[in-house]
Amino acid sequence: KSLAKLREKFSLDQTIGTSEPDLSSSSVRSQLCFSRQTLDAGSQTDISGEVGARSRSNLAERVRLSLQYEEAKRSMANLKIELSKLDSEAWPGALDVEKEKLMLINEKEELLKELQFITPRKRTQDELEHLEAER
């Protein structure tokens, strides 16, 4: 119902604004004055003027909030882009370091596998004493 009233008021406002030069007859002027009175101010028994004003202010508030929301979304997207640029500038080789760590871990695992398959070598008593002395 209120949407229909808004549409009606909007179309009346547009006809008032666009057809003012054609308002030569007194009957048209009296009808427009009457419609303006009912749109702008409501009596105690007719609250359509108050409802219309409230709905117009609610619509304006929604539009304002929507614009603020869109601006905030754009701002967040720009901040994310700037942050990613700063990250890449601050740590340009961070990914390379991680790759090198993974490669070293893989090499160590391969060496450990090789050591598991090698049979232990028998050492002579002299070699064992020499190793103990080095420790």
Mean pLDDT of the chain: 73
Could you tell me the pTM of the whole model?
0.32
Q: What are phi and psi of 37, to 5 degrees?
A: -65, -40
Burial 47-72 (b: 16+ CB within 10 A, else e): eebeebeeeeeeeeeeeeeeeeeeee
Which H/E stretch holds residue 72? helix 48-90
pLDDT at 25: 46
pLDDT at 23: 46
Task: Enumerate the domain spans of the chain.
Answer: 2-123
pLDDT at 128: 85
**How many C-beta atoms surround the C-beta of residue 36 within 10 A?**
13
How does pLDDT run across 36-91, given as a tens digit for each residue? Answer: 445 555 555 555 556 566 778 889 999 999 999 999 999 999 898 888 888 777 77
Whether the CB-CB separation of 51 and 5 falls below 8 Å is answered with yes
